[in-house]
Amino acid sequence: MAIGRKNLIAGFWVMASFMFLGFALVYLRDFAPGAAEWAAQYGTGKHFETRLAHVHGTLFGFLNIVIGYLLFQIRICRKGARVISISALLGLLMPFGILGEVTLGTSPIFVLVGAGSMTFSMLLFGFAIFKHKQA
């Protein structure tokens, strides 16, 4: 499988999933039973954490789409491209980790690993493009 393809696939699926979560948040805020209590928690608790997951999931899905596309377009060393691809995919642990904290009470380690991985992939890709020479 070409490097970047997994990022494109995961990016579109994750972005769609977290966009759906956005629709669920609108439903919970405006139409669900207990909507007033949910809206009152706007800046705290599960409401705030779920919004964080929605925003970061959509953003990180989009970043994976961009990374996947650019890995197809820009020739960088295969090993570097693979590390960038895997790091960006591991970055998706962040929004899923936030949801895990909200729904299952999991450790925030997934959030930290995901945030660090996505940041690392951005730094490494920036460096790779800086070192890239046009043929």
94-131 per-position pLDDT tens digit: 999 999 999 999 999 999 999 999 999 999 999 999 98
Residues counted in the chain:
135
Q: How far apart are the first and last CA of the chain?
A: 24
The residues, any chain, with a CB within 8 Å of residue 128's CB and separated by 6 or more, are: 74, 76, 77, 80, 81, 84
Question: What is d(CA 109, CA 99) in angstroms, rounded to the nearest whole number?
Answer: 12
pLDDT band, residue 89 (cuts 50/70/90): very high
pLDDT in tens, 18-39: 999 999 999 988 888 988 887 8
Q: Are 93 and 117 in contact (CB under 8 A)?
A: yes
